[in-house]
Every structure is written in structure tokens, then in C-alpha cells.
Amino acid sequence: MPLTFIDIEKQKTWRIGIFFLILLFMYFCVTLALVQGILLFIFPFHFIKTGSFLLLERPLYLLVIFGFSLIIAAMHFWFSTSNAVKSVMDNLGALAPDPDDGIHRRLMNIMDEIHVVTGTTRKMQCMVIPTLSMNALAVADLNGNSAIAITEGLLSRLTRSQTEAVLAHEAYHIISGDCMEATVATSLFGMYAAMIEKLQDFGDEDRRGIYPAFLIFWFLLKLSQMLNMFISREREYRADAASVRMTRDPLSMAEALHLISRNWRGSGLIASGLEMLCIINPQEIELDESEGFWANLMSTHPPIQKRIEILLKMVHVSGKDLEKKRELESEDPLINAIFKNRLNQTGKEFSAFRCPSCKQSLFEIPYEKTKVYQCHYCGGTLIENTKIPRIIVRREKKCTERIKSLAKAVTIDNQRKLSLKKLKGTAMDNRHLTACPKCQNPMLRTFYSLAYLIEIDRCSICNITWFDPDELEMLQCLIENKMTAKFDM
């Protein structure tokens, strides 16, 4: 293992050459097939007479076609990879950090520190993705541009040293050339992936004819994906190790991984082609968490638990201690700016349930003289069904103007939705169903009643109800003021 990062930078990234060869091969096959087809179409009689006009038998033609496909492949390669960083960042909606923002300024400082510790002369940009999900990714292209993107949710919830560890991890990916391969592969073959997905959609109808022509693309795409995945798993371990070598702080890295793995990682937001660039796979896949030959071959990320264990072994801390520390930490009001107010309410008891959307522990809090479970991040509430009537009739909590107007708007909107549903006979909205915090089965999404059109999620097994933020207050307000829905149908 090289001692400094200057050495790593010098290593050649030979695999990019392979990608180019794959691309060249693809274009060669396509051009050959196309030219052959045209010739057969134009000179059908000649073909029938001589019995052979196959290009494969004529080296000169083959050479011309090869040259042609070389030019095309080079152009494709150049156009799709030269500005990959910008296109990926645009795709994610990432922005440059805002120098007037305290936390962003801290990020810029940390980025400079990373430059110092790696001793690299190469400029790595840092970007912020404005989303509440928690993830980070690195992108590099052949122009020598590289960027590390971190989501707002992660940036705000990590401490300084944890952010440092995450950025060091990503910086290693850039310096070692890992992410150049991944970026090149994504930008080269991502186009085809989209094309194939579209064709598969059409497949059921009349366009089945084109499909075989793209079979080769499909095959090569899968091959390159597998090549990437095979590499990727090892390199996450290596990047973790490198991060520790840079910051000399394994605990922060472990804490950061732990924190990310327990939250929404941005699945659905980060396109599937980019998942291999992320610090933790945005999708929670069973395959990632398992070991064995097949998992090693196909998965892009190693099991998080194992990564954390390796890091913790360095500081002689067990996983249990980390868990304890994290629970305490989320009580620390300094952690983040966004969730500051909600985190400030300390001294509450944790419950065994987790918020279905934020995956944070719910707190048991008093509400209208009884007890409910509430999430401090999103403000959603979990209530046993037997307690709902009590809460509704009690009038201790006054209904504010904001809730009132919100309730009105929501009722009107839901009324429209309901009418449409009746007309069309299908559900209009196909958001994911919430999983019950108690039994993990999907909850039933329904209105509280047809008179009070507030959407709730109900688990009929555990007899509990989940209210999204403000929904409970809105329901109370509607019932209190007798604002029933009106039907014009």
C-alpha cells in the first residue's frame, strides 16, 4: 500500500481503456450490420446471383467500417465523458456551497483541509444537494474535473469531524481513480440503459421488431455493470481505510456511517446509475447486507455492519456503545441547524417505535392530557386508535389560524381527489404506503371519515394510526369548528 496519496494519483486507470474498447466494439457491430443491411437492400440481385456479398469476406471494407466506428466511438466518448461532472451535478440539482451560510462555509473549509491532507494539487469541487436525505457521492471525469456532492440532510446532521471523515472517504475515491471509471461508465452506457428501458416499455405493443437489435447493447450494459460492481465492493473498504489514514479518526467515520445507514438515504432521488458513486447505496438492498460469492460479485457496497465493525475495532469500541452514543447525540442541539428547534425538546423518553418516514426514534410526549408518540424530525404522530376520540373531544390545544387555513385547503383538495376517484374508479395518488412502526406491515391509507377528509395511515393489526405532520391538529380543528366537507355531486 502506498504511503502517500501522491503515489496513488500516478497509477493508471486502465479500466477506462476497456470501456472504450467495449464502446468501439458496439459501434463496429452496429455499423457493420447497418452497412450489410443497406447493401442487401440495394443490390438484392447481385446478392442472389453471386450468393455472397458479405462484408466479412472483404478486409478493405471491414477496415473502412472499423475506421468509421472508431471516429464515432471517439466522438461519443469525448462528448459524453468530457463534461460528465457538470451533467451529473445538474442531474442531481447540486449547487455550489453558499459562502454566507455558516455550515456551508465550514464545508468549504473542510474541503480545503482535505486538499492539504492528501497533498494533491488537483482541485476537487464540493457541492451541496438540497435535499433532506443523507448521502454523499463523488464524481470525476476525463477533463480532470472532480466534485464531491453531499446532501443538505447529511451535512447538517454530521459534526465537524464526521463531515471530515465522509469527505476524506469520497476524496479517496477521486484520487484513486475509482470514481472516474464509474462516472465514465455511467455517462457512456447510461444513455443506452434509458433507451433499453423505454424499449422494454414498448415491448408489449407493436415495436417488438427493434428489440433484437438492442440485445447486444443490453448484454454489454449488463457486462459493464457487473465489471463495475465487482470492483466497487472492495473499494468501499479501501476508501474507509484511507479516510482513517487521513483523518486518524475511525470513530467519526463509524458514527457517520451508522447515522447514514439509519436514515433516508435518498432512494428515488439519486438515479440508479449513480448508486455506485455513493458512500452508502441509496437503495436498501438485502444483497448489500449479505456476504458470499454472489453478493460479492453483484453488490456495489459491502455490508454496512461490517464496515462499521472494522472501523470500531481500531478504537476498541463495540457497536452497542455507538448505538448509545448516537441516541444521546441526537439530543445535542448543536448537531444541526435545520432540526434544531425540534431537537431542543430534551428530557423526553425514547420509545421502541421508529418514525415510518424519518426512521428516528419516536418520543413519548403528553398531548391533551394523554400520551402519544411523536417524531421530532418531521412532527408526525403515532396514536393508539382507542385514544383518538379522547384527543379529539378535548379542547386544551387551541387551533391556530395557520392550522385552520391549512385544514381548509387540504379538505378542498381531498374533496377534489375523492370526486376524481369516484369518477375514474382508480386511486389518483400512488405514493408509497407507510409501513407500520410496530409490525412493519403496510398501513391502510384512508380518510378519517367522509365528513372530515384528513388522510391517515391506519394499521388494522396493531390498532394504531399514524398522522403525518399537522394532520392531527387539522383533524381536531375541523371537528372543533364543524368544518365538514361539502359534496357537489
Partner 1 sequence: MGWIFIAVFILLFFWMIFIYNQLVALRNEVKNAWKQIDVQLKRRHDLIPNLVSVVKGYMEFERDTLERVTTARARAISAGGIREKAVAENLLTYALSRLSAVIENYPVLKSNENVMQLQEELTSTENRIAFSRQLYNDLVANLATKIEVFPNNIIASLFTFQKAEYFSAEESDKALPLADIGIRSK
Phi, psi of 365 (to 5 degrees): -130, 150
Residues 306 to 345 in contact with partner 1, rule: CB under 8 A:
334
- What minimum distance in Å lies between the beta carbon of 242 and partner 1? 13
Cβ proximity to partner 1, 119 vs 144, nearer residue:
119
- Collapse the DSSP code of 371 into the 3-class scheme (helix H, G, I; strand E, B; otherwise coil) and give the result: strand
What is the C-alpha separation between 166 and 409, in angstroms, rounded?
42
CB of 478 to partner 1, least distance (A): 41
Candidates 112, 201, 323, 327: give the one binding partner 1 (CB under 8 A).
112
Task: Give the one residue of 127, 180, 246, 479 binding partner 1; rule: CB under 8 A.
Answer: 246
Q: Which is nearer to partner 1, 331 or 384 (CB)?
A: 331
CB 2 to partner 1: min, Å: 9
**Site membership for partner 1, residue 106 (CB under 8 A):** yes
Q: Which stretch binds partner 1 (CB under 8 A): 2-10, 48-56, 69-77, 202-210?
A: 2-10
Q: How far apart are CA 213 and CA 412, in angstroms?
A: 51
Q: Is 113 a binder of partner 1 (CB under 8 A)?
A: yes
The gap from C-alpha 366 to its chain's centroid, in whole angstroms, comes to 36
DSSP secondary structure letters along 64-97:
HHHHHHHHHHHHHHHHHHHTHHHHHHHHHT-B--
Tell which one of 48, 50, 60, 102 touches partner 1 (CB under 8 A): 102
Q: Which helix (H) or strand (E) holds 21?
A: helix 15-42
Identity of the residue, 107 or 132, whose beta carbon is nearer to partner 1 in the bound complex: 107
* Residues touching partner 1, count (CB under 8 A): 21
Q: Which stretch binds partner 1 (CB under 8 A): 104-112, 129-137, 232-240, 321-329?
A: 104-112
Cα 34–Cα 36–Cα 41 angle in degrees, nearest 5: 95
* Binding of partner 1 by 116 (CB under 8 A): yes
- Gap between the Cα atoms of 165 and 114, Å rounded: 9
Tell the smallest beta-carbon distance from residue 9 to partner 1 (Å).
12
- Rule CB under 8 A: say whether 123 interacts with partner 1: no
Nearer to partner 1, 121 or 386 (CB): 121
Compare residues 112 and 291 and give the one whose CB is closer to partner 1.
Answer: 112
Q: Cβ of residue 252: shortest distance to partner 1, in angstroms? A: 11
- What's the burial of 60, exposed, middle or buried (CB within 10 Å: 0-12/13-18/19+)? exposed
Q: Of 153-161, 209-217, 271-279, 437-445, which segment contacts partner 1 by CB under 8 A? A: 153-161
Gyration radius from the chain CA atoms: 28
Phi-psi region of 316 (alpha: psi -120 to 50; beta: other; left: phi over 0): left
How far, in Å, are 72, 308, 329 from residue 313 at the CA level?
A: 51, 9, 21
**φ, ψ dihedrals at 460, nearest 5°:** -80, -10
Interface positions with partner 1 (CB under 8 A): 3-4, 6, 102, 105-106, 109-110, 112-113, 116-119, 159-161, 164, 246, 248, 334
